[in-house]
Amino acid sequence: MTYLMESAQEVHRLQAQASATSYAERLRLTGLRPGDAALDVGCGPGVITSEMLDVVGPHGRVVGIEPQAAHLAAARGLLAGRPNVELRQGALPETHLPADHFDYVWCQYVFEYLGEPGPALAELVRVVRPGGRVVVADIDGVGLWNWPFPEDLQEESQKLLAALRAARFDLHAGRKLFHLFRKAGLVDVRVHISPFYVAAGAVDARLREDWVIRFRTLRPLAEPFFGGAGPYDAFCERFLALLDDADTLKYAMVLTTEGVKR
């Protein structure tokens, strides 16, 4: 897995992003229960891992795995002193965890980075016990659903999408999960849709900074598709102006897919 967004600001961005939403309701909706043995794959700085601990309670436990050392260090700092949690460095598709072990497996914003998602999903299925739940949440079209959205800016956005596709980043990973779950043999497969963000008018400071960091981090990848630094900077400035526009709707969605292992 190649993580495109790694930068000096990435831990802060992920912490702010995860902290902007409460996940407890979605975790319970998709089957996490008190007393469960749960796994958080790609746990990042540990914000959702902390909420998972709250849901499973004192008789449950949570294991978090994360490939990026800086993110793992942030998670250890956040979760220091909390019982029933274990953090490990690791990544899909090989977690090196025991088979048929967890009651519930959660994985968010990882599959978008996987060129071959099948082996990763097979690993999640392997480590969950029969009757346990696999839950994967991912984006669908971030940055594309704006109105009004000038046609020439839409065309410029396609250059950024082309750069992401060249790096095997899947902006539509969320919509593909249902089919993957069915092919993997999971049953009782359900899909939940929720907002990644909604801004009726100008976006707030956190979301604007999130986009600034994204554009800065993606610069080396994107500039060749725009024909240099100048055109890329012009695109970023126009897109940020769109985010600041009080008369424009901006939104993006997350699809959360859950399934049960036979």
pLDDT in tens, 150-175: 999 999 999 999 999 999 999 999 99
Q: In the structure encoding, which two tokens stand for residue 51, read together?
A: 């909420």
Decide: pTM greater than 0.85.
yes
Give the span between the Cα atoms of 81 and 56, in whole angstroms: 17
Fill in the DSSP letter of residue 20.
Answer: T
Instruction: For residue 206, give every residue at least 6 positions away whose Cβ sits within 8 Å of its Cβ, in sequence order, or none.
Output: 16, 17, 20
pLDDT at 93 over 80: yes
Which whole number is the average pLDDT over 193-217?
A: 94
> What does the pLDDT read at residue 54?
97
pLDDT band (50, 70, 90) for residue 6:
low
Please tell me whether residue 176 adopts helix, strand or coil conformation.
helix
Residue 123 near residue 96, CB atoms below 8 Å: no
Q: How far is CA 212 from the centre of its chain?
A: 18
Instruction: For residue 231, give every residue at least 6 positions away whose Cβ sits within 8 Å of its Cβ, in sequence order, or none.
Output: none
> What does the pLDDT read at residue 3?
59
pLDDT at 17 over 70: no
pLDDT at 5 over 60: no
Domain boundaries, the chain: 8-261
Residue 244 near residue 202, CB atoms below 8 Å: yes
> What does the pLDDT read at residue 1?
58
Which whole number is the average pLDDT over 209-217?
A: 94
Which whole number is the average pLDDT over 172-198?
A: 97
pLDDT at 234 over 90: yes
Pairing of strands 187-200, 249-260: antiparallel
